[in-house]
């Protein structure tokens, strides 16, 4: 599981996908989420604006598992 470290209160799912190198630009998030299966804390989610806080986990189909943690 790869850690995504943030210094803010939360990060959006679209921002996490960019930091995790799943997408190269934020504009790709919507299409990516429609094509790939994404689980947030074990539940399917495709909202690029979904707020993720430290302790949340994101599993991306064919890309792996990511955990949000605070700096």
Domain limits for position 32: 2-70
Number of domains in the chain: 1
- pTM, whole model, 2 decimals? 0.92
Q: Give 9-48 as a DSSP string.
A: S-EEHHHHHHHTTS-SSGGGHHHHHHHS-EEETTEE---T
Question: Residue 16's domain is classified under what CATH number?
Answer: 3.10.290.10
**pLDDT digit string (tens) for 30-69?**
999 999 999 999 999 999 999 999 999 999 999 999 999 9
Structure tokens at 6: 């943030």
15: number of Cβ within 10 Å: 18
21 pLDDT band, cuts 50/70/90, is: very high
């Amino acid at each position: 599981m790869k850690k995504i470290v943030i210094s803010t209160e939360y990060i959006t799912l679209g921002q996490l996908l960019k930091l995790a190198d799943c997408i190269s630009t934020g504009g790709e998030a919507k299409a990516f989420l429609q094509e790939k299966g994404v689980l947030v804390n074990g539940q399917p989610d495709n909202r690029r604006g979904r707020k993720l806080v430290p302790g949340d986990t994101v599993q991306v189909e064919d890309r792996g598992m990511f955990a949000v943690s605070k700096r």
